[in-house]
Structure 1
Amino acid sequence: MVPLARKTLLYEWRRFLPSAFAIAFSGLLLLVQAAFVFGIFGSAAVYVRKSGGDLWLGFPGTQTIELGRPISSQARIAALMDPQVERVEPFNWLDGDWRGPADKGSVSVFISGIDTRPDALMYSAVLDPQLRARLDEPDAVIVDRADLGKLGLAIGGQAVLNGHRVRVVGVGSGLRALGGVNILTSLDTARRLGNGDQVAYYVVKLRDPAQAKAVRARLDAAGKGARFQAWTSDAFARRAVRYWLFETGAGLGVLFLAVVVVLVGAVITSQTLMGAVAGSLREYATLLALGVGRRALRRVVLVQAAWVGAFGIVVGALGTVLVVALAQRRDVPAQLTPSLIVICAVLVMTIALASGLAALRTLRNADPALLLR
């Protein structure tokens, strides 16, 4: 029956083409939407994932970077006392009010005060030592290339940030944060722009990263009296993404849209596949007259649905790669991972097989008596 299903698809490809493209379109929508969701909401963890620390110390219960509060320097002391800790680096995060050209008005921004040493942990994945060293200049700032237009400035331009005049000394890529413009400064500049010597987070590098969970547990115990909490970098990044996905209206809206895409794709595909099966009723009736059982015919329809689903997955994946590549060239956050592709492929194949099961109802009308008409 499997060879028969393949030969039928090849011979009657025009009949099954609408179903194949419906599946491909569903797969394209799912993959592109998932890539944008992971890219956009993944930027909530850009501070963590673009940095080189193994642990983060912050205020107890902090769910995402933007909700952080200043913590005591006792957190740094407690970390340095642990034999597994190699380095503790402060990260000063605060809100800012950016006032550039008059036609742009005021822009709410996020200020990231970071260490400017060449081997610093914060943003080690996206800042080279030469670009980082420019922050040593007084009142120097670095922004993401894609945010220059929003701020209304070019490299060398000046603006007023929290009442202090600053100058853009460079641009980077991959610095965009969810919910606002990310402004990078040195720790000294951040102190002048914000809350003095108060620090929101400490980033910790370990001698043996495999000991991260054990060290986190020890620092958590020490932080109960000093009002700080420790997280592994991966856990803190996932925590931030989950918050934006499930605790905000924007994230829930996107998830609801994904459900709608799945349902619409299933309905359209089932209708087109039922039409293809209905167009082959005389052929199925002939097979019944020759002694082929209905169970075997059902298997043919399901195999055809599986092949249609496989075609849709391949075409949808190719289309998604092109769309994501174009988006990334335009600095639109989009992220495709192997696990994401596998999950979407399983969903698309589920839609195809469910559509095949729905098309089995049409197969009931295949009656050898049709051949007498």
Structure 2
Amino acid sequence: MLARKTLIHEWPRFLPAVIAVAFSGLLLLAQAALVLGIFGNAAVYVNGSRGDLWIGSPGTQSIDQGLPLSPEIEMPLRMDPGIAAVEPFYLRYAEWRSPETRGGMSVAVSGINVRPDGLLFSRVLPLDLRERLAEVGAIIVDRADLQKLRTRPGGQATLNGHPVRVVGVVNGLRALDGANVLASAETAQLISTPEEGSLPTYFVAEVRDRTQVAAVRERLSQHRSFGAYEVWTSEAFSRKTQLYWLLQTGAGAGVLFLAAVVFVAGAAITSQTLIAAIAGSMRAYATLKAMGVGVSALRNVVLQQALGVGLTGTALAAILCAALLAVAHNQNVPVRMTPFVALVCAALVMGIALISGLFAVRRVLREDPASLLR
């Protein structure tokens, strides 16, 4: 009761602490959203598709590292009674040149099935745009990559020297590095190197009963007579790819280091501001202590104040972060947030607030009431 009344009637004194908590929470949420968005783009091939299982070369650590597979591997996939559909995926890296660029740049070309029931990129590619890819040489790029590729809808370019035309643009296809280009399987094979030829990089399979995905994966993993391959669920392959880019690349190490700096800086600012706000009531605490109020009661008052400041600041941070993410999406900035990550960030901010409250409690209990009441 006392803590709540103090927060309400003396809110100007606690306002800087609330703002500090909100600022710390906003930094943490924004950093987490950027990490999820940027490194989630590395697995856009998986997350943007409807397949349940991915079949690739053994030991593949990230989807961009896949090696050509034997076409014979498709046979046991289609023979399995638990498989409803199978599609080859042709992932090629090609040199992009447009009339407006002096040099070339490397792009990732995804050769997919262009039928309306296609599994690959079904969550990103509308049906009308998928149909346009049926023309050999037709490609689709992300809207945010138009400037990078120096092209436009209807623009002409070459991939490994073969002429292509941009027949449409989509959102949600942005690559972690370079650019992603969607094309038909025929176009991808046309621009392939002699070593790649018509060999697929992956096979994607849809399972009839989603509850049997693990069982089908285990069954397919036992076949070896048609060639060497490894089978992953879509969730596992997406997570594997994102963790590789986050933990085993220089880009990931840099982002994680920056996230740690942001967290430490936010924690320091928040704790000092909150301790200062609570210290402003030191005379009131000294009076209560002189009147015989117990240590546990004083501790509860201070921690309740810290909890109230933390909850208010966290709520404000959530509102500001939602607005910031909306602006970022509108500007094609790769950001993403999940409920679990949001709860983790909120728990961290609340932890900072409560730890700061404990430090304030130590100061309250250490001070001599007589010296404060002079």
- Normalised by the length of structure 2, the TM-score is 0.96
- 1:336 and 2:337 aligned: yes
- 1:203 and 2:208 aligned: no
Q: Which residue of 1 aligns with 2:169?
A: 171
**2:167 alignment partner AA:** V
**2:303 alignment partner AA:** L
Alignment partners' CA distance in 2, 1:223 and 1:12: 72
1:313: how far off?
A: 0.6
Identity %: 54
Deviates more, 1:194-203 or 1:360-369: 360-369
Q: Deviations over 1:195-241 (max 9, x none)?
A: 32111000101111211111111111114761111111111111111
Where does 1:175-324 land on structure 2 (aligned, <5 Å)?
Answer: 175-194=173-192, 195-223=196-224, 226-324=227-325
Where does 1:132-151 land on structure 2 (aligned, <5 Å)?
Answer: 132-151=130-149
- Which runs of 5 or more residues in structure 2 are unaligned? none
The answer to whether the 8 Å contact 2:33/2:335 transfers is: yes
Q: Deviations over 1:43-101 (max 9, x none)?
A: 11110111111111100011111100001112111111111111110110011110113
Alignment partners' CA distance in 1, 2:368 and 2:44: 61
1:372: how far off?
A: 5.2
1:280: how far off?
A: 1.4
Alignment partners' CA distance in 1, 2:31 and 2:46: 24
The answer to whether the 8 Å contact 1:284/1:366 transfers is: no
Alignment partners' CA distance in 1, 2:21 and 2:336: 22
Specify the SS of the correspondent of 2:96: strand
The answer to whether the 8 Å contact 1:274/1:362 transfers is: no
Residues 372 and 228 of structure 1, relative CA distance in 2, 3 Å threshold: closer
The answer to whether the 8 Å contact 1:111/1:183 transfers is: yes
Where does 1:28-67 land on structure 2 (aligned, <5 Å)?
Answer: 28-67=26-65
CA RMSD of aligned residues (A): 1.4
- Which runs of 5 or more residues in structure 1 are unaligned? none
Specify the SS of the correspondent of 2:321: helix
The answer to whether the 8 Å contact 1:270/1:359 transfers is: no
The answer to whether the 8 Å contact 1:281/1:365 transfers is: no
1:272: how far off?
A: 1.5
Q: Deviations over 1:247-295 (max 9, x none)?
A: 1121122222222222222222221122122221111111122221222
- 1:154 and 2:155 aligned: no
Deviates more, 1:215-224 or 1:123-132: 215-224
Show structure 1 runs of 4+ deviating over 4 A. Answer: none
Number of equivalences:
371
- Normalised by the length of structure 1, the TM-score is 0.96
Q: Deviations over 1:88-126 (max 9, x none)?
A: 101100111101134463121000000010110001111
Alignment partners' CA distance in 1, 2:352 and 2:284: 25
